[in-house]
């Protein structure tokens, strides 16, 4: 029988083991090939400990060795480097939004094995029908691409908008994707027999950002996503970081104009009622004419039903004055929301993500507005616009695998 002290010790020993394995895995992953000696130096662990842990990781098939010529005068001497067995694994990312989902499977080189966009209007927003469709398509592809037989599936990362209890795996309020309180993780784990993690969509984008930008543990970051709505995720931690430590912030529902339009959340004048794509499209539709908006008029054949953010941005670039006014108003309120977030959260860095930031004129104008405020130099733009919707949840699974030292199993 174990005494209390021993079991506490046992837990501590396991905790240390996982932490060391986790640090080694992250370091090797980020370096893309590194010697045991260098690992020992960088992590401040003894060479004996490194040998012990990496031998385990090789035996488990997580690490592989490769020999490379040493870059010095001693000809013929080879150095042994360790790398993650990147092609052995597959990770799956799913982004579920209103009436569609996107699905992606990739290996640990971030090489995409398959991806798909599936429409779900026929599911009538019933979670059971949507999740059944998600899993059926996943099962089909995993067999079609011979993944079940040839690789180890690390898990399924799922992202959905709205309020999520990530630790419980429950989508609490998705604002119209499906009903309230859907236990997504339970459904997927039961059916697919692989680990699953559910996160709020912005938190999942932020996971992807920190993962793909190789950020050394983003201890203190605010990630803001713009388009079609506005949302943010905050990560702030002291000691160890987990994929569950990202908090969603409903930035789009902060009030910008108390007398403004009614928002889907029920309040009036939220930032989204000014800067959201729906609002921009509505405002553009109101003034669409050959006289007032000649460029947009020609791109849409004068038909408001053909309006979308792409042709609005095109007209903005080409110089439709009234379209510029609409977007400048969005930029103005967006910059205020960013500045207010800086005051509220005081993050070390702020990263802006979204397709409109790919547009030079839009980005430049936003930056001009931001530069009126102190602290604007903390703001940077993501280099992964439009990629992280599915790569984000896929990277959540990789992060989860690494942070648990390569020891993950389905929770019962
Ligand atoms: Zn709102």
Boundaries of every domain in the chain: 4-84, 89-213+388-403, 224-381
How far apart are the C-alpha atoms of 288 and 297, rounded to whole Å? 6
Ligand 1 midpoint to CA 255 (Å):
8
pLDDT of 7: 46
Ligand 1 midpoint to CA 304 (Å):
25
Ligand 1 midpoint to CA 278 (Å):
13
Ligand 1 midpoint to CA 57 (Å):
48
300 contacts 306 by C-beta, under 8 angstroms: yes
Ligand 1 midpoint to CA 171 (Å):
19
pLDDT of 77: 73
87 contacts 152 by C-beta, under 8 angstroms: no
Q: Could you tell me the two tokens for 60?
A: 């488990």
Ligand 1 midpoint to CA 373 (Å):
25
407 contacts 160 by C-beta, under 8 angstroms: no
pLDDT of 6: 43
Does domain 4-84 fall under CATH 3.30.390.50? My reply is no
Ligand 1 midpoint to CA 269 (Å):
7
- In tens digits, what is the pLDDT along the chain, a chain of 412 residues? 333 444 455 557 788 889 999 999 999 999 989 999 999 999 999 999 999 999 999 999 999 998 887 766 566 678 899 999 999 999 999 999 999 999 999 999 999 999 999 999 999 999 999 999 999 999 999 999 999 999 999 999 999 999 999 999 999 999 889 999 999 999 999 999 999 999 999 999 999 998 888 876 578 899 999 999 999 999 887 777 788 888 999 999 999 999 999 998 899 999 999 999 999 999 999 999 999 999 999 999 999 999 999 999 999 999 999 999 999 999 999 999 999 999 999 999 999 999 999 999 999 999 999 999 999 999 999 999 999 999 999 999 999 999 999 987 654 4
Nearest to 240 by CA among 393, 93, 380, 399: 399
397 contacts 157 by C-beta, under 8 angstroms: yes
Ligand 1 midpoint to CA 277 (Å):
14
75 contacts 115 by C-beta, under 8 angstroms: no
Phi, psi of 43 (to 5 degrees): -100, 0
Ligand 1 midpoint to CA 303 (Å):
29
Ligand 1 midpoint to CA 356 (Å):
21
Ligand 1 midpoint to CA 260 (Å):
11
276 contacts 228 by C-beta, under 8 angstroms: yes
Ligand 1 midpoint to CA 34 (Å):
49
Ligand 1 midpoint to CA 271 (Å):
7
pLDDT of 410: 53
Does domain 224-381 fall under CATH 3.30.420.40? My reply is yes
Helices (H), 123-170: 127-144, 147-150
Ligand 1 midpoint to CA 280 (Å):
15
Ligand 1 midpoint to CA 263 (Å):
5
Ligand 1 midpoint to CA 227 (Å):
15
Ligand 1 midpoint to CA 274 (Å):
10
Topology agreement, domain 89-213+388-403 and domain 224-381: yes
Q: Residue 408 burial (CB < 10 Å; 0-12/13-18/19+)?
A: middle
Q: At what angle do helices 201-212 and 388-403 cross, to 10 degrees?
A: 70
Ligand 1 midpoint to CA 327 (Å):
19
CA 29 to chain centroid: 18
CA 337 vs CA 28, 230, 272: distances in Å? 38, 10, 11
Ligand 1 midpoint to CA 273 (Å):
7
Ligand 1 midpoint to CA 275 (Å):
11
Ligand 1 midpoint to CA 261 (Å):
10
Ligand 1 midpoint to CA 389 (Å):
22
For 89-213+388-403, the fitting CATH number among 3.90.1820.10, 3.40.640.10, 2.130.10.10, 3.30.420.40 is: 3.30.420.40
Ligand 1 midpoint to CA 254 (Å):
7
């Amino acid at each position: 029988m174990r005494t209390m002290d021993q079991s506490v010790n046992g837990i501590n020993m396991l905790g240390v083991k996982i932490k060391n394995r986790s640090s080694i895995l992250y370091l090797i992953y980020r370096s893309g090939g590194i010697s045991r000696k260098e690992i020992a130096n960088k992590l401040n662990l003894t060479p004996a400990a490194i040998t012990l842990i990496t031998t385990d990781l090789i035996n488990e098939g997580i690490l592989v060795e490769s020999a490379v010529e040493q870059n010095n005068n001693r000809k013929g001497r080879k150095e042994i480097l360790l790398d993650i067995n990147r092609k052995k694994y597959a990770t799956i990312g799913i982004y579920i939004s209103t009436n569609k989902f996107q699905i992606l499977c990739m290996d640990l080189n971030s090489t995409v094995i398959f991806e798909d966009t599936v429409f779900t209007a026929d599911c009538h927003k019933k979670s059971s029908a949507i999740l059944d469709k998600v899993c059926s398509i996943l099962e089909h592809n995993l067999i079609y691409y011979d993944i079940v037989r040839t690789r180890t599936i690390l898990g399924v990362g799922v992202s959905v908008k709205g309020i999520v209890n990530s630790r419980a795996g429950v989508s609490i309020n998705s604002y119209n994707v499906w009903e309230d309180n859907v236990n997504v993780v339970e459904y997927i784990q039961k059916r697919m027999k692989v680990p699953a993690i559910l996160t709020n969509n912005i938190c999942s984008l932020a996971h992807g950002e920190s993962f793909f930008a190789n950020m050394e543990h983003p201890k203190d970051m605010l990630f803001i996503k713009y388009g079609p709505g506005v949302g943010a995720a905050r990560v702030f931690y002291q000691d160890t970081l987990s994929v569950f430590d990202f908090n969603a912030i409903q930035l789009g529902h902060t009030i910008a104009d108390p007398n403004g339009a009614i928002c889907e959340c029920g309040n009036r004048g939220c930032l989204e009622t000014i800067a959201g794509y729906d609002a921009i499209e509505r405002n553009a539709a109101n003034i669409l004419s050959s006289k007032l908006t000649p460029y947009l008029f020609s791109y849409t054949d004068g038909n408001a039903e053909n309006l979308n953010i792409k042709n609005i941005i095109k007209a903005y670039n080409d110089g439709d004055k009234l379209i510029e006014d609409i977007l400048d108003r969005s930029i103005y309120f967006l910059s205020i929301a960013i500045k207010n977030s800086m005051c509220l959260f005081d993050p070390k860095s702020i990263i802006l993500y979204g397709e409109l930031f790919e547009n030079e004129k839009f980005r430049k104008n936003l930056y001009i507005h931001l530069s009126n405020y102190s602290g604007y130099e903390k703001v940077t733009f993501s280099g992964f616009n439009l990629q992280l919707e599915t790569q984000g949840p896929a990277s959540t699974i990789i992060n989860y695998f690494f942070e648990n030292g390569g020891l993950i199993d389905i929770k019962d």
